[in-house]
Amino acid sequence: MFIYNHQLRVRYGDTDQMGYVYYGNYGYYYEQARSEAIRSLGISYKEIEDSGTMMPITRMNIKYIQPAKYDELLLIKTFVPELSNRIILFKYEIFNEQNSLINEGETQLIFIDAITKKLKMTPSILLEKMKPFF
């Protein structure tokens, strides 16, 4: 299993009138953690795209447990529980500064050819970097 921890400080613009993170921003937080998790492997989303593969999200699930607040430092644990031939599932756990679990989520992405937009296998550029964790 691949695991990556990402820290993120809640910005004022991410919050609603109550000072809580607006619910729609959690997908953005997941994206930041996912991008940095891939970067920690020594590659980037840009390199994957430049190699001819796009990674659209086909599913996102979110469980809100308690709100994150303005200026809070969050820890986003990102997991890839298994490697598949055509999809990649990222799971997330977000913890507040008191180390309380405040949010859980997951995103499922598929691999498609950048030109034809047809489903393709997991790109070797990503597969090679992730294999040691499984």
pLDDT-based confidence at residue 29 (cuts at 50, 70, 90):
very high
pTM for the full model? 0.93
Query: For residue 2, what pLDDT is reported?
Result: 97
Count of other CB atoms within 10 angstroms of residue 110: 17
Does the domain at 2-133 match CATH 3.10.129.10? Answer given as: yes
Mean of the pLDDT values across residues 111-134?
95
pLDDT of residue 133: 95
Tell me if 95 sits within 8 A of 29, measured CB to CB.
Answer: no
Residue 118 and residue 111: Cα distance in Å, rounded?
Answer: 8
Match 């296998």 to its residue by tokens: 121
The secondary structure of residue 46, as a DSSP letter, is H
- Phi and psi at 13, nearest 5°, equal -70, -10
